[in-house]
Structure 1
Amino acid sequence: MAGPDLEFWQQRFEQGSTPWDRGAANPQLQVWLREGSLSPCRILVPGCGNGHEVLALAAAGFDVTALDYAPAAVEGVGRRLGQAGLKATLIQADVRSWSPQTRFDAIYEQTCLCALHPDDWSIYAARLRDWLAPHGRLYALFMQAPKPGAAEGLIQGPPYHCDIHGMRALFPASQWRWPAPPYPRVDHPSGPHEIGVALQAEPRREPGSADIVELSRRLP
């Protein structure tokens, strides 16, 4: 596989080497909660890391399911939930292949996309859409972290730069409803910043009788 493997992420969490971690929930999550654009529902947090957002959502009354690739990350979130007297469903899984039994009302995407090698982005974007219920919403923080080698075509990360124009292509308007820009900018202590966007999944178009008739005309 391209990009960091399971051993890479497991070592980071075992050693506490997580420089991307703010030590608290993302400020934009607090804004979405305070404004009421994100209200208690069944929500998924892929790539949950140390779980600050998991705890914040659980404390706010959400039915939270959290995923992470690294067992050490999942174990750490479990400990923090127990210490806080909170509950969430925790799963150790690879987001590129995991499938839930039922779909979610919302997904909070913060550090998972930028941790995946860009070769895997289209797979992950398709998974996100599959995981959402009709009209479900994706609350995304797109990491803006351009690297010096980009001018020569080098792919450097993690975190990988989630250029907002690239995100428009990855999450096309035919499948996702984008709000009008400008979008909130969230500075990160390590230097890069994130762009916060709440996308709504467009309804899937099921083939109707007219489509079937047209297809039959084209078949030999």
Structure 2
Amino acid sequence: MDRSIRTTEDVLSLLDGLFAPQADRWTAGGADWWDGFYTDRSKPVPFFVAKPDESLESYLERGLISPGRALDLGCGPGRNALRLASLGFEVDAVDLSPAAIAWAGERAREAGADVRFHCGDAFALTSAALSGPYDLVLDSGCFHHLPPHRRVSYLALLDRVLAPGGHLALTCFAAGAMGSELPDADFYRTSGLQGGLAYTPESLRHIFRDLTEVELRRMRDEPSDSPLFGESFLWAVLFRRPAG
């Protein structure tokens, strides 16, 4: 007989277990899946390129964000973390996959970039590892791989580490272009994330309603010879935490 649930985290962990292992790609148990994904570096995966997001570059050029402390969630091979470090940001970057972290570390050493890489589940890492407060939390492709109940953990992490007046820079699947549009409840019936969740502008504004919207638009497509990464099936969103 199992009667072990007594905390909110126990409930969240129970819901995690409803998903098939192959779909559970964002928790510590999904590290093997992502390791396999990052092993072949020659695959034509758009975000394997060593280029920062065009949206991030746009925020920087327009002065919407400026150097400070930054946290890169789901950093992958480190393309955005390295760009931030090159501009004087103090950067922490986290990813589940040891292979991704190893690749990012190689790129950082080649570039002479100072980035603190952390391998693990951002929700489970201690406050000592992700000490905060961060002036910028950057998420380029992590949020849309979370099952619905883990938005609770995501918002709690932001509440803990995002500085007053700090920004969340988010890119995620755009409804009608990429990702599953199933209602939240249906993911628990199918026990899978269907490759990732699509979002509408209204859903993003609802989820992050405690933050102030600075900009919400589709990411611009960037040609292969561009120094920037851009795919129009993604939303590019910048939110700001109220200063007081």
Shorter-chain-normalised TM-score: which range? 0.7 to 0.9
Match of 2:90 among 63, 69, 91: 63
1:106 aligns with 2:136: yes
What do the CA deviations read for 1:69-122 (whole angstroms, capped 9, x no partner)?
111111111100100111111111202222323311111111110122233222
Counterpart of 1:158? 195
Letter in 1 for 2:206: A
The total of aligned residue pairs comes to 200
1:196 aligns with 2:232: no
Counterpart of 1:177? 212
Q: Does the Cα contact within 8 Å between 1:96 and 1:127 map onto a contact in 2?
A: yes
CA root-mean-square deviation: 2.7
Identify unmatched segments of 5+ residues in structure 2. Answer: 1-15, 223-229
Counterpart-to-counterpart distance in 1, 2:113 and 2:119? 19
Match of 2:58 among 31, 41, 62: 31
Counterpart-to-counterpart distance in 2, 1:64 and 1:10? 23
In the TM superposition, what is the alpha-carbon distance from 1:192 to its structure 2 partner?
Answer: 5.5
Equivalent residue of 2:107, what SS?
Answer: helix
Equivalent residue of 1:184, what SS?
Answer: strand
- For residues 136 and 119 of structure 1, do their structure 2 counterparts lie closer, same or farther at Cα, with a shift above 3 Å needed? same
Counterpart-to-counterpart distance in 1, 2:134 and 2:181? 38
Letter in 2 for 1:165: E
Equivalent residue of 1:94, what SS?
Answer: coil
Equivalent residue of 1:160, what SS?
Answer: coil
Match of 1:15 among 40, 60, 64: 40
In the TM superposition, what is the alpha-carbon distance from 1:46 to its structure 2 partner?
Answer: 0.7
Counterpart-to-counterpart distance in 2, 1:134 and 1:109? 18
Counterpart of 1:129? 159
Q: Does the Cα contact within 8 Å between 1:122 and 1:170 map onto a contact in 2?
A: no
The answer to which structure, 1 or 2, has the higher relative contact order (CA under 8 A, 6+ apart) is: 2
Counterpart of 2:102? 75
Which TM-score applies when normalising by structure 2? 0.72
In the TM superposition, what is the alpha-carbon distance from 1:197 to its structure 2 partner?
Answer: 1.9
Q: More displaced, 83-92 or 6-15?
A: 6-15
Q: Does the Cα contact within 8 Å between 1:50 and 1:77 map onto a contact in 2?
A: yes
Counterpart-to-counterpart distance in 1, 2:34 and 2:101? 12
In the TM superposition, what is the alpha-carbon distance from 1:25 to its structure 2 partner?
Answer: 1.3
Identify unmatched segments of 5+ residues in structure 1. Answer: 205-220
Identity %: 23
Which TM-score applies when normalising by structure 1? 0.79
1:46 aligns with 2:83: no
